[in-house]
Structure 1
Amino acid sequence: MPLTMINKVSAIATLSLLITPMSFSQTLDEALHDIIQNNTLTGNPIKQQQLSDIDSTKAQLGMKLFYSRALSGNLDTACASCHHPMLGGGDNLSLPVGVKSEKPSVLGLGRQRKEGLPPDIARNAPTTFNIALWQKVMFHDGRIESIGPSQFTTPDFHYPQRDPKAGENLVQAQARFPVTSDREMLGESFAFRRSTQARRASIAARLAGKSPTLSALPKTVTHYWLTAFRTTFSAPEATASQLITEQSISELLAEYQRSQLFIDTPWRQYINGNTLAISEEAKVGALLFYQGREKGGYACANCHSGDFFSNEKFYNILIPPIGPGKAGKNGVAVQGQDFGRRLVTRLPQDNYKFRVPSLLNTEVTGPWGHNGAYTSLPGIVKHMIAPKQMLQQYNPNQLKQKNIPVDNLKTRVDLLMKSNPNSFVKDKDYRTEDVEALVTFLKTLTDPCVKSRACLSPWIPNNESLTPLQLQGTDLDGNKH
């Protein structure tokens, strides 16, 4: 959006703070050039990660599994129910609705639990976009963490012990867990009350046609998957039990997810020399984003650093405590609280800490915050500038999703305010035009592909060749995603 005359005057005032007196004659581009150099930015967030190609046979079969309800206990939910490319690699909800949804095919706003029950999953569904670029941790609380080359700790073992079955990469390690969650995909009637590994094995055995009669899939379904696995793994004589395992399933799911690379952004083009790739207002926003508070900026890059825009660390930033809360090992959530990283490390100093999200494509990956408390980019930007003020003034009426638990919100807020947040969590005065400029800059971190159904089509199954139990997601009005 072009700057108005009022905003241009405001921008000049901002720049007088951001650019030292010795360099008032520098242009916006010159100032940003210095920032790009000082932060060693290249625009390319790929480091040493091994990526996948959506056209590979494994990624293609992984996509079919990702959209198949056959991986859920009740056959009513797929991975794509909460992570659909047309919904920003998430679900466009503050809090996910997994099993027992009123209309399993409805994705996004309008998806709700049966009988109007409130959401029972405590955390926002993270985007799968660029998931392969994480190098250290997975999930909001980092409960899956890299502890060495191809070595990961997971919830199956006491932190920080190595899980020998975690897989070859972080994405595969995380892909093994949603199918074991009774609220996300498993439900309470299939393999319930078994260990997480036994749950995975039961899902795999059912897909392979080796499940007890009462829970078995039709032979036409299991035959389809056996044929597909034999083709993909070039093993025409292998048995179902040899091919269809929880390890091969998670490998394939990871291959599909790791192919979702969307990093061709206007900001990258700008870094690479196209000064017309972003607007003047976005350039002002970039200065505000990178410059320190002592220079009139907001120091966002202290945490949202590098070309991936995340240092992969954990902080308590006072996100409003909405939702059901997250239970610990005893199975009980305390007054709707979610203690975040502490539930992993058991360290009191990790109370309420959550992973710094990447900001690539953040325009389309809301709602924002570990629990989706904010439903607009300006809202979360204001919170990050003045977290204490925004927490105390938080209005849950902004939530677009029905029945999110906000009871005793004042009590929850009081507990959070007493939690001794990180020392850097200090409110800073801001101007509306600064927020607008920051939001405009954040939108330059969007790969245009993620806003185009045609461009995203390789990551969405072709409905002309449906797989058994394939999720065909729609919005509330029946329009296909």
Structure 2
Amino acid sequence: MGGLICAGFHQVARLLDLRPRWQRQPTKSYGKFTHIILLAATPAFATDLPRPLTADDFITPDPAQAKLGQLLFYDRILSGNRNIACSTCHHPDLGTADGLSLGIGEGGVGLGPQRTAGTGDNRIRKRIPRNAPGLWNLGAKDLHVMFHDGRLSIADTFENGFNSPAEEWLPEGLENLLAAQAIFPLVAQFEMAGNPKENEVAGAVQNRMDYAWPILTDRVRHIPEYTKAFAAAYDHINGPQDITIADIANALSAFMIFEWTSLDSPFDAYLNGDLTALTQAQRAGMDLFFGAAGCAGCHSGPLMSDQGFHALGLPPFGPGRTRRFDPMVRDVGRMGESDALEDAYAFRTPMLRNVALTAPYGHNGAYPTLDGIVRHHLNPEQALAQWQPEVAALPEVPWLAAIDFMVWQDPREMARQRAAVQVQPTVLSDAEVDAIVQFLHALTGQSARDGLFGIPDAVPSGLPVDHAQRP
């Protein structure tokens, strides 16, 4: 270990800074010395480490638009039956996810692991096919693909800037990729729209998904508090008639970027030159992550994701999500979007900031712990053989139980999934696995649990707001 030589002898004035924390450039003070030069302390593998994230890597949201988006994010008015909000499946007290392997969407009751599947005619008809991902750092300028299968990306496929499930019917005026993403759960039957004949939103979706967005927009337009907030936040809005679904999506995007941009983890501090930011175990785990364990082969770059798609052979369960008109209960991953055989069972590499807060792990939440998902990556075939259904966080839904693990009854399908695995086994000791897990905990931002706006006490619609008890 080398030492630090400090140079520079000027005092740094502390100015009032009202920008979000992540937009401020951190400066660590060592008494009266504020500039540091790193000598022999730099690890030998430093060239393999990503550069530090900075505020310039992210879209800068307008605070007024973000505040408006906060209210919309927690407001159930954007769901077909007015019974579920974005926050229900992406709650800050649950790491911006829901704590479940496969979520319980429209028709469910409660929040997180305590959420139940409903009763009677209102009960859920299907589990959400995939795990609800965390919302950290989705305002990154370099981010170009979203959803586990990448069905939304920046492209000019339909001459509107995006390749999306809405194709040429995607609304105009969406400011960024996250804004485009935000409008799709609103029109997904089992997530927020509801079932056919239950409400006008679900009915419209059955004809064409873009028919539903004006209905949701009209709901917002008729709430005076929202009308005033939109007019104050956007120069082009003078009255309710000017509000569009794109404005709603842009506000949601502004909030998520403002609230959940994270670049102040111990690892970030280390990359910025604070060699004391990581413990010895975390340093050892970092060495393995960027070295012998091969994790950085996919979790690469400042965002710790190559934004590519890889088949890992995660234990399959649930209703799956497959190609259109495919009757099988399975999840074909990227192939469902690309229709290319080489993409079978491949899923997008997730970013890793705050990963310790977003259990369970995998595109279907197959593993409840970081230790479990790390070990699976090291030897997918062995891990798949040893996996037990009991570890999945699946609230009891008796009327769907026959479907939950149906794919395991199809030996040919299971053989196809095993044959598609692209990862070669890597042998590590238990101590080395633990070190990697310790490093993953070092990716948790110091302010990750705080947020800026937090959870509102009430929303303009007057509908209930999701609250959960923090552990």
Structure 1 length as normaliser, TM-score? 0.80
Deviation of the 1:112 alpha carbon = 2.0
| Correspondence list, 1:276-355, <5 A | 276-291=276-291, 297-330=292-325, 333-334=327-328, 336-355=329-348
Deviation of the 1:137 alpha carbon = 0.1
* Residue number among 20, 43, 49 corresponding to 2:52 in the alignment: 43
CA contact (8 A) 1:141 1:354 kept: yes
Tell me, in whole angstroms, the C-alpha distance in 1 between the residues paired with 2:40 and 2:436: 19
Match of 1:146 in 2: 154
* Residue number among 184, 198, 201 corresponding to 2:214 in the alignment: 201
CA contact (8 A) 1:152 1:162 kept: no
C-alpha change, 1:117 and 1:373, in structure 2 (3 Å) is: same
Letter of the aligned partner of 2:311 in structure 1? N
Deviates more, 1:344-353 or 1:73-82: 344-353
Deviation of the 1:224 alpha carbon = 2.5
Tell me, in whole angstroms, the C-alpha distance in 2 between the residues paired with 1:412 and 1:130: 38
C-alpha change, 1:278 and 1:119, in structure 2 (3 Å) is: farther
Match of 1:83 in 2: 90
C-alpha change, 1:46 and 1:306, in structure 2 (3 Å) is: farther
Deviation of the 1:370 alpha carbon = 0.3
Match of 2:113 in 1: 109
Letter of the aligned partner of 1:462 in structure 2? P
Letter of the aligned partner of 1:179 in structure 2? L
Q: Spell out, residue by residue over 1:359-389, the C-alpha distance to the aligned partner (whole angstroms, 9 max, x if none).
A: 1110001110001111111000000101111
Match of 2:35 in 1: none
Deviation of the 1:130 alpha carbon = 1.0
Deviation of the 1:117 alpha carbon = 5.6
CA contact (8 A) 2:311 2:420 kept: yes
Tell me, in whole angstroms, the C-alpha distance in 2 between the residues paired with 1:316 and 1:61: 39
Tell me, in whole angstroms, the C-alpha distance in 2 between the residues paired with 1:280 and 1:272: 18
CA contact (8 A) 1:66 1:79 kept: yes
Q: What is the SS of the residue equivalent to 1:354?
A: strand
CA contact (8 A) 1:86 1:450 kept: no
Deviation of the 1:285 alpha carbon = 0.8
Backbone CA RMSD of aligned residues: 2.6
Tell me, in whole angstroms, the C-alpha distance in 1 between the residues paired with 2:45 and 2:381: 29
Match of 2:16 in 1: none
CA contact (8 A) 1:96 1:124 kept: yes
Tell me, in whole angstroms, the C-alpha distance in 2 between the residues paired with 1:360 and 1:384: 18
Letter of the aligned partner of 2:150 in structure 1? G
| Correspondence list, 1:18-417, <5 A | 33-39=43-49, 41-44=50-53, 48-52=57-61, 56-101=63-108, 103=109, 106-115=110-119, 120-133=127-140, 135-147=143-155, 151-157=161-167, 163=170, 165=172, 167-188=174-195, 189-190=198-199, 191=201, 192=203, 193-209=206-222, 222-234=223-235, 238-242=238-242, 244-259=243-258, 260-291=260-291, 297-330=292-325, 333-334=327-328, 336-403=329-396, 405-411=403-409, 415-417=413-415
C-alpha change, 1:471 and 1:138, in structure 2 (3 Å) is: farther
Letter of the aligned partner of 2:269 in structure 1? Q
Letter of the aligned partner of 2:437 in structure 1? V
Tell me, in whole angstroms, the C-alpha distance in 2 between the residues paired with 1:143 and 1:164: 16
C-alpha change, 1:174 and 1:117, in structure 2 (3 Å) is: closer
Q: Spell out, residue by residue over 1:400-430, the C-alpha distance to the aligned partner (whole angstroms, 9 max, x if none).
A: 3323754335335752442475674122233
C-alpha change, 1:33 and 1:63, in structure 2 (3 Å) is: same
CA contact (8 A) 1:154 1:162 kept: no
Tell me, in whole angstroms, the C-alpha distance in 2 between the residues paired with 1:424 and 1:32: 33
Tell me, in whole angstroms, the C-alpha distance in 2 between the residues paired with 1:282 and 1:439: 8
Deviation of the 1:271 alpha carbon = 2.0
C-alpha change, 1:225 and 1:46, in structure 2 (3 Å) is: closer
Letter of the aligned partner of 2:379 in structure 1? A
CA contact (8 A) 2:115 2:395 kept: no
CA contact (8 A) 2:330 2:407 kept: no
CA contact (8 A) 1:270 1:278 kept: yes
CA contact (8 A) 1:151 1:162 kept: no
Tell me, in whole angstroms, the C-alpha distance in 1 between the residues paired with 2:405 and 2:415: 17
> How many pairs are equivalent?
415
Q: What is the SS of the residue equivalent to 2:212?
A: helix
C-alpha change, 1:164 and 1:231, in structure 2 (3 Å) is: closer
CA contact (8 A) 1:389 1:427 kept: no
Percent identity between the two aligned chains: 29
Tell me, in whole angstroms, the C-alpha distance in 1 between the residues paired with 2:148 and 2:173: 18
Tell me, in whole angstroms, the C-alpha distance in 2 between the residues paired with 1:369 and 1:321: 10
C-alpha change, 1:427 and 1:68, in structure 2 (3 Å) is: same
Deviation of the 1:37 alpha carbon = 2.2
Tell me, in whole angstroms, the C-alpha distance in 1 between the residues paired with 2:163 and 2:338: 11
Deviation of the 1:232 alpha carbon = 2.2
Match of 1:462 in 2: 456
Letter of the aligned partner of 1:450 in structure 2? A
Q: What is the SS of the residue equivalent to 1:132?
A: coil
Tell me, in whole angstroms, the C-alpha distance in 1 between the residues paired with 2:98 and 2:247: 26
Tell me, in whole angstroms, the C-alpha distance in 2 between the residues paired with 1:178 and 1:263: 27
Q: What is the SS of the residue equivalent to 2:241?
A: helix
Q: What is the SS of the residue equivalent to 1:174?
A: helix
**Structure 1: tracts of 5 or more residues without a match:** 1-28, 210-221, 292-296
Match of 2:466 in 1: 473
Tell me, in whole angstroms, the C-alpha distance in 2 between the residues paired with 1:166 and 1:442: 37
Deviates more, 1:426-435 or 1:341-350: 426-435
Tell me, in whole angstroms, the C-alpha distance in 2 between the residues paired with 1:31 and 1:410: 51
Q: What is the SS of the residue equivalent to 1:418?
A: helix
C-alpha change, 1:32 and 1:348, in structure 2 (3 Å) is: farther
C-alpha change, 1:119 and 1:436, in structure 2 (3 Å) is: farther
Tell me, in whole angstroms, the C-alpha distance in 1 between the residues paired with 2:410 and 2:368: 20
Letter of the aligned partner of 1:230 in structure 2? A
C-alpha change, 1:343 and 1:46, in structure 2 (3 Å) is: farther
